[in-house]
């Protein structure tokens, strides 16, 4: 009697389910609708396979219990057997991309650009593990992480979601991140989703969702290679990318989605579209849907028009444009992911062992985030070994991001575009709160007007960018820009953050503050909070010490730990730091090369 392998058991169970499913049930599994447009009755009546929260889309008061209750209602509806309905449990998905940061009180980790500077895959696996536990606490099954973008141009508003401009650094984190998130795919893991396939970080001029105009050799070497270790680690889902490759949208790219990813690389999980990403393939929605599914799209992420998507998908099948064999392949993949995740064996969300866990946002979780903050900091300048500071020093703490947990966290935190206050980030510490806890003679004065060399030995000035996400973080010379949409009705361009990579142009208030304090003879330690390197020559020259803190997340105390000498500077740049703001800045020698960082440990 030969025993079947786990893979064979899954395949057999998927086949058995498939054989019992109606066309409506099969097509329903291919829809991932947004919660704001979806009721539990919709899940039951249309056999929806998954529901998501877009950035900032939260139930009730956005507390853990509200999330568990919401997921319990959707799951229960998906298991209805009314009128002989076939119960297939629903998956709920969210962007937990630096902790489960949508949810109030979550542990918010440094965004990937900071983790990339730590050069510590074991640490990143631990952060992913903690994030998965906080996702499980809310009854959520699936996170759209890791981002494996290899950002090539810091004009891109999603640079901070990229671990590095070096594919080898990104690849070094990929497997551990997937293991940390998916774990044993039993009760202690959630489904990971590597994104965005493929070439999202390589668009011309860093235009979000733009065109990646490079050779296949460059696409493979720079943008595909980090996926290999993720696939090896058992990655279950991949998200298609908004960008085009040499003019052809990835969402409709059969060669990239099917021939390469599923064929050559043997990916046997499912491919999910990005947010309404199919809409940009063609001005006729039905045609666009047919193009996407025939290219290899398995799940359609649809914000509002999911009923129309379902209807048009059925029409495409009935018209013979989409063969039933492709539908069966997509549904087989979806069922296989659910079976490999153990979803059919899980109890309802409210009864799962991790739901409502007290570990959510716990001190133990925050300690791991604090360690990640410490290791992500990069010391770029330290004249006369000013750092570390003495705890007894009379420290003036100034700057718009000195006491602002919202600024520290950046985008994809509570709101899609992030938050700009302390109150919006429940739990954690601002950089000021961390300094205050260690240095009794420190004083906060955001505008630095009280700066006085008779009162202050040194100033810590925390400056940089305000939160943003996706295209709203782009720095574009030409303002709004067309994004390769083949659907004139949906040009989909977002107002950019600014037009230049020079900080003094984007935020002149920062240089003004640094120079005003330094002019009084007080040495300045500048701490940069932002999502990417920016041209900061004037700010560097006016500072005696300069630290890149990136987007450290909720645990600002990790910055204080290092500034005040409890821990050494460890981080090294995962992106070269630009010398000039010219569009061709990458052709010039950088101010600091990738790998640079003054380490003190
Ligand atoms: C967004 C992003 C993607 C995210 C998805 C769901 O547009 O491109 O990274 O996972 O929509 O929020």
Distance 226 CA to ligand 1 centre (A): 19
pLDDT of residue 479: 60
CA proximity to 290, closest of 263, 306, 312, 311 = 312
Which residue's CA lies nearest to atom 11 of ligand 1?
275
Closest ligand 1 atom, CA of 55? Answer: 12
Which residue's CA lies nearest to atom 12 of ligand 1?
54
Give the mean model confidence (pLDDT) for residues 343-348. 97
User: Which residue of the set 134, 200, 274, 298 is catalytic?
Assistant: 274
**Does the beta carbon of 234 lie inside 6 Å of ligand 1?**
no
Q: By mean pLDDT, which of 141-150, 369-378, 494-503 is the weakest? A: 494-503
CA proximity to 113, closest of 502, 514, 385, 464 = 464
Q: What is d(CA 387, CA 175) in angstroms, rounded to the nearest whole number?
A: 36
User: For 282, how many CA atoms within 13 A lie in the half-sphere containing its CB?
Assistant: 11
Q: What is d(CA 507, CA 179) in angstroms, rounded to the nearest whole number?
A: 40
CA proximity to 279, closest of 310, 321, 309 = 309
- State the DSSP code for 85: P
Residue 185 pLDDT greater than 90, yes or no: no
**Does the beta carbon of 371 lie inside 6 Å of ligand 1?**
no
Q: pLDDT, tens digit, for every residue of 460-496?
A: 999 999 999 999 999 997 766 666 777 877 776 788 9
**Does the beta carbon of 275 lie inside 6 Å of ligand 1?**
yes
**Does the beta carbon of 166 lie inside 6 Å of ligand 1?**
no
- Interstrand relation of 50-53 and 31-34 (parallel, antiparallel or unpaired): parallel
Q: pLDDT, tens digit, for every residue of 396-408?
A: 999 999 999 999 9
Q: Sorting pLDDT into bands at 50, 70 and 90, what band is 98?
A: very high
Q: pLDDT, tens digit, for every residue of 33-75?
A: 999 999 999 999 999 999 999 999 999 999 999 999 999 999 9
Q: What would the two tokens of residue 5 be? A: 């392998």
For the chain, list the domains and their CATH numbers.
27-351 (3.20.20.300), 364-587 (3.40.50.1700)
Which residue's CA lies nearest to atom 3 of ligand 1?
274
- Which of the listed residues 36, 53, 54, 242 should we mutate to test ligand 1's pocket, taking the one with most ligand atoms within 8 A of CB? 54
**Does the beta carbon of 411 lie inside 6 Å of ligand 1?**
no
pLDDT of residue 490: 78
**Does the beta carbon of 54 lie inside 6 Å of ligand 1?**
yes
Q: What would the two tokens of residue 231 be? A: 């696939």
Q: What is the mean pLDDT of the chain?
A: 96
> How distant, in Å, are the alpha carbons of 17, 61, 251 from that of 201?
39, 35, 16
Q: H or E segment at 272?
A: strand 270-272
Give the mean model confidence (pLDDT) for residues 88-104. 98
Residue 322 pLDDT greater than 90, yes or no: yes
Q: Sorting pLDDT into bands at 50, 70 and 90, what band is 1?
A: low
**Does the beta carbon of 55 lie inside 6 Å of ligand 1?**
yes
Q: What is d(CA 577, CA 535) in angstroms, rounded to the nearest whole number?
A: 8
Q: What is d(CA 33, CA 42) in angstroms, rounded to the nearest whole number?
A: 10
**Does the beta carbon of 195 lie inside 6 Å of ligand 1?**
yes
Q: What is d(CA 119, CA 122) in angstroms, rounded to the nearest whole number?
A: 9
Q: What is d(CA 269, CA 194) in angstroms, rounded to the nearest whole number?
A: 11
Percentage above 90 pLDDT, the chain: 94
Give the mean model confidence (pLDDT) for residues 211-224. 98
Q: What is d(CA 238, CA 269) in angstroms, rounded to the nearest whole number?
A: 8
Q: Active-site residue 274, yes or no?
A: yes
Q: Is the pTM value of this prediction over 0.75?
A: yes
Contacts of 185 (CB under 8 A, 6+ apart): 234, 236, 340, 341, 342
Strands ordered across the beta sheet of 211-212: 211-212, 244-245, 248-249
Distance 53 CA to ligand 1 centre (A): 10
Q: pLDDT, tens digit, for every residue of 328-339?
A: 999 999 999 999
- In DSSP notation, 10-65 reads HHHHHHHHHHH--HHHHHHHTEEEEGGG--HHHHHHHT--EEEEPTT---TTS-HH
Residue 184 pLDDT greater than 90, yes or no: no
pLDDT of residue 255: 98
pLDDT of residue 533: 98
Which residue's CA lies nearest to atom 7 of ligand 1?
275
Distance 242 CA to ligand 1 centre (A): 9
Q: Is the dihedral of CA 366, 372, 374, 378 positive or negative?
A: negative
- In DSSP notation, 126-191 reads HHHHHHHHHHHHTT--EE---B------TTSTTGGGSS-SSHHHHHHHHHHHHHHHHTTSSTT--B
User: For 281, how many CA atoms within 13 A lie in the half-sphere containing its CB?
Assistant: 26
**Does the beta carbon of 95 lie inside 6 Å of ligand 1?**
yes
User: Which residue of the set 208, 276, 470, 561 is catalytic?
Assistant: 470
Q: Are 280 and 251 in contact (CB under 8 A)?
A: yes
Percentage above 70 pLDDT, the chain: 99
Residue 234 pLDDT greater than 80, yes or no: yes
């Amino acid at each position: 009697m030969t025993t079947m392998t786990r893979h064979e058991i899954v395949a057999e169970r998927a086949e058995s389910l498939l054989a019992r499913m109606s066309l409506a049930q099969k097509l329903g599994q291919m829809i991932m609708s947004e919660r704001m447009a979806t009721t539990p009755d919709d899940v039951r009546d249309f056999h929806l396979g998954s529901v998501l929260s877009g950035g900032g889309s939260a139930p009730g008061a956005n507390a853990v219990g509200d999330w568990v209750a919401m997921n319990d209602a959707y799951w229960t509806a998906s298991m209805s057997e009314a009128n002989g309905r076939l119960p297939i449990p629903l998956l709920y998905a969210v962007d937990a991309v630096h902790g489960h940061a949508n949810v109030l009180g979550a542990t918010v980790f440094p965004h990937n650009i900071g983790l990339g500077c730590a050069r510590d895959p074991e640490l990143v696996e631990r952060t992913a593990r903690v994030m998965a536990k906080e996702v499980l606490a809310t009854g959520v099954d699936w996170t759209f992480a890791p981002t494996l973008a290899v950002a090539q141009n810091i004009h891109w508003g999603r640079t901070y979601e990229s671990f590095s401009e070096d594919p080898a650094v990104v690849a070094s984190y990929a497997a551990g991140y997937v293991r940390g998130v998916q774990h044993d795919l039993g009760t202690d893991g959630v489904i990971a989703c590597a994104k965005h396939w493929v070439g999202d970080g390589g668009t011309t001029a860093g235009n979000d969702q733009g065109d990646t105009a490079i050779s296949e050799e460059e696409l493979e070497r720079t943008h595909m290679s980090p996926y290999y270790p993720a696939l090896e680690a058992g990655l279950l889902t991949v998200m298609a990318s908004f960008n085009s490759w040499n003019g052809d949208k990835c969402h409709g790219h059969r060669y990239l989605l099917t021939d390469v990813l599923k064929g050559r690389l043997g990916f046997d999980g499912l491919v999910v579209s990005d947010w309404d990403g199919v809409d940009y393939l063609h001005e006729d929605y039905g045609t666009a849907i047919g193009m996407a599914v025939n290219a290899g799209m398995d799940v359609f992420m649809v914000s509002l028009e999911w009923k129309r998507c379902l209807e048009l998908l059925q029409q495409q099948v009935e018209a013979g444009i989409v063969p039933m064999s492709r539908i069966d392949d997509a549904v087989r993949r979806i069922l296989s992911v659910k079976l490999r995740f153990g979803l059919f064996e899980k109890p309802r969300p409210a009864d799962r062992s991790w739901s409502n866990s007290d570990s959510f946002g716990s001190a133990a979780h925050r300690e791991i985030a604090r360690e990640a903050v410490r290791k992500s900091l990069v010391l770029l300048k330290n004249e006369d070994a000013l750092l570390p500071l003495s705890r007894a020093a009379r420290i003036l703490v100034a700057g718009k991001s000195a006491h602002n947990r919202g600024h520290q966290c950046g985008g994809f935190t509570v709101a899609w575009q992030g938050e700009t206050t302390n109150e919006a980030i429940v739990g954690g510490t601002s950089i000021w709160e961390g300094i205050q806890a260690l240095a009794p003679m420190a004083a906060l004065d955001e505008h630095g007007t009280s700066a006085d060399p008779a009162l202050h030995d040194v100033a810590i000035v925390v400056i940089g960018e305000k939160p943003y996400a996706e295209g709203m973080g782009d720095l574009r010379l030409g303002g709004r820009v067309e994004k390769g949409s083949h659907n004139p009705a949906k040009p989909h361009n977002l107002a950019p953050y600014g037009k230049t990579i020079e900080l003094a142009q984007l935020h002149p208030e920062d240089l003004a503050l640094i120079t005003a304090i330094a002019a009084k003879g007080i040495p300045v330690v500048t701490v940069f909070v932002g999502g990417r390197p920016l041209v900061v020559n004037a700010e560097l020259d006016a500072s005696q010490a300069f630290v890149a803190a990136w987007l450290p997340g909720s645990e600002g105390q990790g910055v204080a730990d290092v500034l005040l000498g409890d821990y050494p500077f460890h981080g090294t740049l995962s992106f070269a730091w630009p010398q000039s703001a010219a569009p061709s800045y990458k052709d010039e020698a950088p101010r600091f090369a990738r790998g640079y960082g003054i380490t003190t440990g």
